[in-house]
Amino acid sequence: MDNILEVNNLYKKYDSFELKNISFSLPKGMIMGLIGENGAGKTTTIKAILNIINKYEGEIKIFNLDNNKNEDKIKKDIGVVLDDMFFPEILTPNDINNSMKSIYKNWDFNMFNDYLKKFSLPSNKQIKKLSKGMRKKLEIITALSHHPKLLILDEATSSLDPIARREVLDIFQEFIQNEECSILISSHITTDLEHFADYITFINDGKILLSKTCDELLEQYGIVKCTKNEFKKIDKKDYLKYQKTKYEYQVLIENKKEFRKKYNINNIDRTTLEDIMILMIKGEK
């Protein structure tokens, strides 16, 4: 499977934080969700991919091109929505539509207008008079309207209400249907990622804890609920992390089927991405 994005051994050091050899790849036609706590390194990773920050170690390839050496060729085919992104507040959506024609060769004037109607965005209203959710929708449709091959989104849906989020997620699904386009999206709304992401990359404290298919995490991973005596019989190599509660032990495992074969414990719950995050960060080994 061809990769649209490859990150290899990305390392970036700040005074109080460092990215520690981040590596992952995003195939064509797929959606990857980046998850992790605030300050874990998701936004720093995205900004390195976009060359907003530089002087990092490692290699980033987009469309099989070195990101540092081919920035101009690459950026025309990337749509971007960042958490701290903004347009000048005196502009209107019509102003943006007219100005983007001179920036992007593939800018689609009619597509932009169609999206305005779809999301009920006023074309002549200044951005400063739009709600936070409407501004975010405007950023998203601007990112989509020059026919990019890769969307890079940092908390792009966090300010949207559930109905608007569903509309946007449906558009993201349509975007990858040709199997040539891909999406990298960071989000704290893990329930959304469970429904539409193909891959999940989990970053914590500047390093990757896991990068797997979403199906594998939700179907093969599990949480074993057991007594103290039952927990003592479980080999450390057969679980990832555990938490002790008032009444039981909760144990995160990678393979429910294999675990059932080895141990006489059948009380295994399905995991959510939130469960995995909490146990991997807060649990003990």
Q: How is the chain split into domains, by residue range?
A: 3-213, 220-282
Rounded to an integer, what distance in angstroms lies between the CA atom of residue 169 and that of residue 182? 13
| Residue 60: strand pairing partners | 7
Residue appearing with tokens 């091109």: 65
- Identify any residues that bridge with 152 across adjacent strands, giving them in sequence order: 80, 184
- Residue 141 contacts residue 114 (beta carbons within 8 Å): no
pLDDT in the model for residue 266:
78
Which pLDDT does position 203 carry in this prediction? 97
Kindly tell me the sign of the dihedral angle through the C-alpha atoms of 255, 35, 9, 79: positive
The pLDDT of residue 1 is 66
Architecture of domain 3-213: 3-Layer(aba) Sandwich (3.40)
**pLDDT for position 267:** 83
Q: Helices marked H in 82-152 — which ranges?
A: 93-100, 109-118, 132-144
Q: Give the Cα separation of 16 and 138 in Å (integer).
A: 34
> Which helix (DSSP H) or strand (DSSP E) does residue 203 occupy?
strand 199-204
Cα–Cα distance, 152 to 261 (Å, whole number): 41
Contacts of 20 (CB under 8 A, 6+ apart): 11, 206, 207
**Dihedral angle of Cα 183, 184, 188, 189, to the nearest 10 degrees:** 20
**Successive 10-residue mean pLDDT values, the chain, 285 residues:** 93 91 96 95 94 90 92 91 84 94 92 94 94 92 96 90 90 92 95 95 96 96 93 94 93 94 87 96 93
Dihedrals φ, ψ of 94, to 5°?
-65, -40
Strand-pairing partners, residue 204, are 207
